[in-house]
Amino acid sequence: MSSSPPAGDALACPSCARAYRADERFCDDCGMPLVARGDGPAEEARTDAQQRARKIRPEFSHGDLVQVAGGRNLMEAELIQNLLIEEGVPSVLRRSAGFDVPDFLASGPRDVLVAESGLEAARDMLGATDLGSRRAAPPAALGGHRLILRLVAGIVIALLLAAIVARAIMGVAA
Ligand SMILES: [Zn+2]
């Protein structure tokens, strides 16, 4: 990190710090939305992607990607993504399983994924708008292992309880 980066590398991955050009949007390795490096020409850096990247709170971009919500189409998924970024939570859109064929490239449902560290904030945010509960996709490819299923069920219940408690607290505060 001692030498200054090439002028074109205006963005960086918030997770692995790899540098990207300004027209890239996501890290090839992590899938995280890229953020501005802060050393590029400030005036020219005001693209939509970079304005959004500036809102990202780094503490919400750690860990594996997990699905937090789904949109029935790209527009709806991007709406959710924009809501999340207002809270500083970066997210990634992915075609929902079973719809990742060319016929559905433009339409078709999208999964909205966030990093694990941003999941709780995302859930709170989406819970307030009812977007998060619209389509709860089952965890994919669990195999037949009952122990794993039980663990997942326990985690889901714990998260739901946490969300309920969080909302109750926020309700009291508001
Ligand atoms: Zn990365």
pLDDT in tens, 52-97: 788 889 899 999 999 999 998 888 999 999 999 988 999 999 888 7
Residue 118 is predicted with a pLDDT of: 95
At 27, the amino acid letter reads C
Give this prediction's pTM: 0.48
Q: For 14-55, give the secondary structure using H, E and C.
A: CCCCCEECCCCCECCCCCCECEECCCCCCCCCCCHHHHHHHH
Q: Distances from the Cα of 62 to the Cαs of 92, 109, 114, 119, in angstroms?
A: 13, 25, 9, 10
Please answer whether residues 73 and 107 qualify as being in contact, where contact means their C-beta atoms are separated by less than 8 angstroms: yes
Cα distance between residue 72 and residue 53, in whole Å: 25
Q: How remote is the CA of residue 43 from the centroid of ligand 1, in Å?
A: 25
Q: How remote is the CA of residue 159 from the centroid of ligand 1, in Å?
A: 27
Q: How remote is the CA of residue 12 from the centroid of ligand 1, in Å?
A: 8
Q: How remote is the CA of residue 150 from the centroid of ligand 1, in Å?
A: 32
As assigned by CATH, the class of the 59-137 domain is: alpha beta
